[in-house]
Amino acid sequence: MALNKLVLLLSISWIMGTASTARELPMKLGNDLTARLDGGGGMMECWNAFVELRSCTNEIVLFFVNGDTHLGPDCCRAIGIITRQCWPSMLTSLGFTSEEGYVLQGYCDASSAPPLPVVTPLLVEPPV
């Protein structure tokens, strides 16, 4: 009986010892925070766009409340970066509905599109 308890105790100790041991994982080069922030550029670009979007909140509110249809190019650039490259749902977390986000994105897409060429009609003189 004592032998059974001893075997059981040793078995439990062995299982717990192997389950709780950790192995060392090799560190990848460039896995520190500064390398990720400086190297990729994506995350910093998203945060810069977020800060820019916060600075143009007044323009966006006037856009929806008064119908003032002028958003600056920096504001449109921030909207484009956030909705296309970062977190499309971030606009909803800032208090805008998804429909308002689509309206802002559509306005900025239309305002950044190249202007259509102007076609002038040719004057044709009537035959004499």
Collect all residues with Cβ–Cβ distance below 8 Å to 70 and sequence separation of at least 6: 59, 63
Q: What is the pLDDT of residue 34?
A: 55
Mean pLDDT of 68-87: 86
Asked whether 88 and 82 are in contact (CB, 8 A), the reply is yes
Q: What is the pLDDT of residue 101?
A: 86
Mean pLDDT of 53-57: 86
pLDDT at 53 over 70: yes
Distance CA 106, CA 90 (A): 17
pLDDT in tens, 8-49: 766 777 776 665 565 665 655 545 555 545 555 577 888 888
pLDDT band of 115, cuts 50, 70, 90: low
Distance CA 101, CA 88 (A): 8
Task: Return the HEC string of 34-101.
Answer: HHHHHHHCHHHHHHHHHHHHHHCHHHHHHHHHCCCCCCCHHHHHHHHHHHHHCCCCHHHHCCCCHHHH
